[in-house]
Amino acid sequence: MQDDPLLRRARELKAELVDFRRDLHQHPELSFAEQRTAGKGRAWLEGLGLAVRGEIAGTHGVLATLDSGRPGPSLIVRADMDALPITEATGRPYASQNAGVMHACGHDVHTTCLMGAARLLSEQREQLRGRVLFVMQPAEESPPGGAKVLVEQGGILEDVDAALALHVHPGISVGRMGFRSGVMLAYSDRFEIRIKGVGGHAARPHQAVDPVAVAVQVYQALQYLVSRENNPLHPFVITVGALQAGTAPNVIPGEAMLLGTTRALDPKVSEALPARIEQLVAGVCQSMRAEYDYEYVAGYPALVNDEGFTEAAIASVRGMLGEDAIHRIPNPEMGGEDFAYFTQRVPGMMFRLGVGNEARGIVHSVHSPRFDVDEDAIPLGAAALARIALDYVTGAK
């Protein structure tokens, strides 16, 4: 392991980067409402002397370009910046000040690492070739997502050769980074099923059509699809995250709502699910005298990491941090990620930034109200993005 100048400089910047992250964490913003976050990032990037575009495709997206003026490839480095509608329960002094909104998925860290990488590479302009672009992307948490808008309407991948991103992972210890080539994350879609029954008195169910009972049958039938109709070698998951019905204990409601997600690794499985789910819902409702409304919303495609770019990134991080920092992710995960819209267009790679620290109680999953990160990971993430980018545009082996 060498004394990497990018890593050394990133560690010198740690206090400034942590302050930046904590400010973002205290002021989280929901999808497509990231105005303050975008403004703070834009000011940082403009302060580096970069050419900056804002309000991309009618969103708060920001794109900054570091052009070396020398021939070479173009690499885009992406960070998502939206938060989640979660009430924070960490008790940290830098906890969210926006009621009911929290950076529970680490996008504040992603944005901070992007700012750090932009600073590091701006200070290495003389070594660069080609271009490095830095994008602050809105609305990763709200399918069909901000990436789709920026790619299809904002043209951010024009003349771009490759794309790079990171994502925090509390299941990986700080100081380590997770890599996987090929399929890394699943197709991720959402559905809404409204069961329409006939309301009535709780004492006279025979005079009603109980939508709660129908919804329970639908839920059980959905799990039958997973356990008995699907090839277990091509896994998928159906999760009902909300079942909403009624307001009183002695009233049979008129409607019940099921909200859920589907996740699959096989494109054929993903394509077949919408019609099969509706067929199942229709059959249950017909047998129990209920009606239904059904909406299936396509979310994100599977995230596929380019093998060559992934192996090159591993070599870059290994040279900076040593072999012990490399964690090979053995299997795909069923989460979804709209960075997949980047990797559909150009060779791309997302890696996992370890932020967990069991000794400090930093073990809670993303999307938990108790989620937090070991901030020692922030300079490591910034340095890793910068080192991978620098090696890519210069063709270093």
**Tokens 């740690």 sit on residue:** 14
Annotated domain spans of the chain: 5-185+302-394, 187-300
What Å distances lie between residue 171 and 17, 265, 275, 364, CA to CA? 23, 21, 36, 8
Answer yes or no: is pLDDT of 45 > 60: yes
- Give the per-residue pLDDT at 208: 97
Q: For 155-203, give the DSSP string.
A: -TTTT--EEEEEEEEEEEETT-EEE--EEEE-EEEEEEEEEE-B-EETT
- Give the per-residue pLDDT at 197: 98
What Å distances lie between residue 107 and 37, 102, 300, 323, CA to CA? 11, 10, 18, 27
pLDDT band at 207 (very low <50, low <70, confident <90, very high): very high
- CATH no., domain 187-300: 3.30.70.360
d(CA 85, CA 33): 12
Could you report the per-residue pLDDT of 218-275, keeping only the tens digit for each?
999 999 999 999 898 899 999 999 999 999 999 999 999 999 999 999 999 999 999 9
- Give the per-residue pLDDT at 2: 64
Among residues 389, 392, 307, the alpha carbon closest in space to that of 113 is found at 389
Instruction: Report the topology of domain 5-185+302-394.
Output: Aminopeptidase (3.40.630)
Could you report the per-residue pLDDT of 3-44, keeping only the tens digit for each?
899 999 999 999 999 999 999 999 999 999 999 999 999 999
pLDDT band at 397 (very low <50, low <70, confident <90, very high): low
**Residues with active-site annotation:** 82, 140
- Give the per-residue pLDDT at 312: 98
- Give the per-residue pLDDT at 278: 98
* Model pTM above 0.85: yes
Cβ neighbourhood burial of 7 (10 Å; 0-12, 13-18, 19+)? buried
Run of H or E residues at 132? strand 131-137
d(CA 25, CA 97): 9
Please name the amino acid found at residue 394: T
